[in-house]
Structure 1
Amino acid sequence: MLVAALLSLIPWSGTAVAHGSVVDPASRNYGCWQRWGNDHLNPAMAQQDPMCWQAWRADANAMWNWNGLYRNGSAGNFQAVVPNGQLCSGGRTEGGRYNSLDAVGAWKTTDITGDFTVKLYDQASHGADYFLVYVTRQGFDPTTRPLTWNDLQLVKRTGRYAPSQNYEIPVSTSGLSGRHVVYTIWQASHMDQTYFLCSDVNFR
């Protein structure tokens, strides 16, 4: 009953949250929560979804709080507060809760095309000063190398979004194929609060 009630709160399948995240293509911890939240102790996850398995084992709260991967006070100087190799954890924010998201390996991917839409859910209706959407350069392999700023190419910078619960960011790319990471930075409007979100994708 409770699960059904919570699932009804988000049009793109989620849960009751306080902040938000990219829900399509799913951020790493949102995807792990979406696939395994009702069965996170199932040992089959170790073979079927090993990156989520290590993440649940490292800190289950990173999945239950998939909406809380943010840091305050970055002042737009993101590369100074989020070092290379720590991009998916937002620079080991929240006391290291999300460190497992920086783990190198074969995270489950979402299939997309060169023209895709980033969908973000924001229950608190913070609004956005802007979104930055990056995609890893062709040839970068996130299954063998940690993500660095130099691996990213900016493909979209938006203007302001008025406070709402659902945001859509259309993105157009060219020449990309295979596995990549879509890296979304959401600068919220209500205060200097920034979300750093890794989504694993496969360009078809």
Structure 2
Amino acid sequence: MHQQNPLAGDRSRSSLRRPLQALVMLFAVVAGALAWSTPAQAHGTIVNPATRAYQCWKTWGSNHTSPAMQTEDPMCYQAFQANPDTMWNWMSALRDGLGGQFQARTPDGTLCSNNLSRNASLNKPGQWRTTNVSNNFTVQLHDQASHGADYFRVYVSKQGFNPKTQSLGWGNLDFITQTGRFAPAQDIRFNVNTSGYTGHHVLFVIWQASHLDQAYMWCSDVNFN
């Protein structure tokens, strides 16, 4: 009578397990990637006047390997070289649980990166591209997940501060206004009224989101004319 080799059965089961294990590992990798990328799709930034990261992404995101960036837009070039994720995740420059202690927990020289080390390239002084504005202009937030806002705080760098050569600190800013609340929406706009500014300045905006204690801080380079 023919007797079945028990080792053959083990080999057969093992050969079945290998592709199943590979599928499980592939699923885990894909699920992990989705879990990592989802938060980056759930936030926003000031799109006008464009923040530094958004301006770099909008201008060079589809052409980020172009050698022309180094000469035409050196500040975006150094940012892409330092960490491309700064631009790809232009919508996720947030910190949790600051409790409104923005100045105490954001050292001078780290304002434009919201004190996030991965975005440190945004703090560097230099020839950042500017958006032309008048003394009275509109700020536009694109909020992908419609968080709403408890408020926005708006500052402008002091007359005489040079964004091309100086890193931004709290003492370099004039406080302009704090808004009221905004209901959840993907597009939020508010007016800013200033006077006495000319030339290249940094517009510094803090967005206190409504859904959680999440604070976003950005620098936009503007040219008052």
**Residue 116 of structure 1 pairs with residue 140 of structure 2:** no
Amino acid in the other structure paired with 2:59:
R
Query: In the alignment, which residue of structure 2 is the partner of 1:200?
Result: 221
Deviation track 1:1-57 (CA, whole Å, cap 9, x = no partner) reads xxxxxxxxxxxxxxx932000000000000000000000010110000000000001
**Which of 93, 101, 104 is residue 125 of structure 2 equivalent to?**
104
Query: In the alignment, which residue of structure 1 is the partner of 2:100?
Result: 76
**Which of 74, 82, 98 is residue 58 of structure 1 equivalent to?**
82
Query: In the alignment, which residue of structure 1 is the partner of 2:27?
Result: none
**Which of 163, 170, 183 is residue 184 of structure 2 equivalent to?**
163
Query: In the alignment, which residue of structure 2 is the partner of 1:4?
Result: none
Matches within 5 A, 1:25-40: 25-40=49-64
Query: In the alignment, which residue of structure 1 is the partner of 2:11?
Result: none
How many equivalent residue pairs? 186
Query: In the alignment, which residue of structure 1 is the partner of 2:10?
Result: none
Deviation track 1:65-111 (CA, whole Å, cap 9, x = no partner) reads 000001011100001111000000101x2xx2111000111100001
CA distance in 2, matches of 1:21, 1:79: 20
Q: Name the SS for the 1:46 alignment partner.
A: helix
> Structure 2 unaligned runs (5+)?
1-39
CA distance in 2, matches of 1:197, 1:131: 11
**Which of 65, 71, 77 is residue 47 of structure 1 equivalent to?**
71
CA distance in 1, matches of 2:127, 2:190: 26
Q: Name the SS for the 1:34 alignment partner.
A: helix
CA distance in 1, matches of 2:156, 2:125: 17
Query: In the alignment, which residue of structure 1 is the partner of 2:18?
Result: none
CA distance in 2, matches of 1:64, 1:18: 13
Q: Name the SS for the 2:222 alignment partner.
A: strand
CA distance in 2, matches of 1:200, 1:50: 15
CA distance in 2, matches of 1:44, 1:74: 40
> Structure 1 unaligned runs (5+)?
1-15
CA distance in 2, matches of 1:136, 1:158: 19
Name the larger-Rg structure: 2
CA distance in 2, matches of 1:107, 1:30: 12
Query: In the alignment, which residue of structure 1 is the partner of 2:167?
Result: 146
| TM-score normalized by the length of structure 2 | 0.81
Q: Name the SS for the 1:79 alignment partner.
A: coil
Query: In the alignment, which residue of structure 2 is the partner of 1:8?
Result: none
Matches within 5 A, 1:172-187: 172-187=193-208
| TM-score normalized by the length of structure 1 | 0.90
RMSD of the TM alignment (CA)? 0.9
Which aligned segments of 4 or more residues in structure 1 are displaced greater than 2 angstroms? none
Percent identity, aligned pairs only, is: 53
Deviation track 1:151-171 (CA, whole Å, cap 9, x = no partner) reads 111112101101111111100
**Residue 67 of structure 1 pairs with residue 91 of structure 2:** yes
